[in-house]
Copies of this chain bind each other. A is one copy, B any other.
Amino acid sequence: MRLYDDPCSGNGYKVRLMLALLGQPYDYVALDIDKAETRTPEFLAKNPNGRIPLLELDDGRVLPESNAILHYLADGSAFLPVDRFARAQVMQWLFFEQYSHEPNIATVRFWLTHGVEMTPWRQEALVQKRAAGYAALAVMEGHLANRRYFVDDAYTIADIALYAYTHVAHEGGFDLAAYPAVRGWLDRVAATPGHVGITRAVG
Q: A-side interface residues toward B, CB under 8 Å?
A: 48-49, 57, 61, 63-69, 71-72, 75-76, 84-85, 87-89, 91-92, 94-96, 98-100, 102-103, 121, 124-125, 138-139, 142-143
Contact of A49 among B57, B76, B100 (CB under 8 A): B100
Whether A68 touches B84, Cβ cut-off 8 Å, given contacts A48-B139, A49-B139, A139-B48, is no
Q: Please name all residues of chain B whose beta carbon is closer than 8 Å to the beta carbon of A89 when the two chains form the complex.
A: 63, 68
A22 CB → nearest B CB, Å:
14
Q: Which 9 A-B pairs have the closest CB atoms?
A: A72-B88, A68-B91, A68-B92, A65-B95, A65-B92, A71-B91, A98-B99, A48-B139, A121-B124
Number of copies: 2
Q: Per DSSP, are chain A's interface residues mostly helix, strand or loop, or mixed?
A: helix
A177 CB → nearest B CB, Å:
20
CA distance A110 to B143 in the complex (A): 29
Q: Please name all residues of chain B whose beta carbon is closer than 8 Å to the beta carbon of A139 when the two chains form the complex.
A: 48-49
Whether A96 touches B142, Cβ cut-off 8 Å, given contacts A84-B72, A87-B71, A88-B71, is no
16 more A-B contacts (CB under 8 A) besides A65-B91, A69-B88, A71-B91? A48-B138, A48-B139, A49-B139, A65-B99, A67-B95, A68-B88, A71-B87, A75-B88, A95-B95, A98-B99, A99-B99, A99-B103, A103-B103, A121-B121, A121-B124, A121-B125
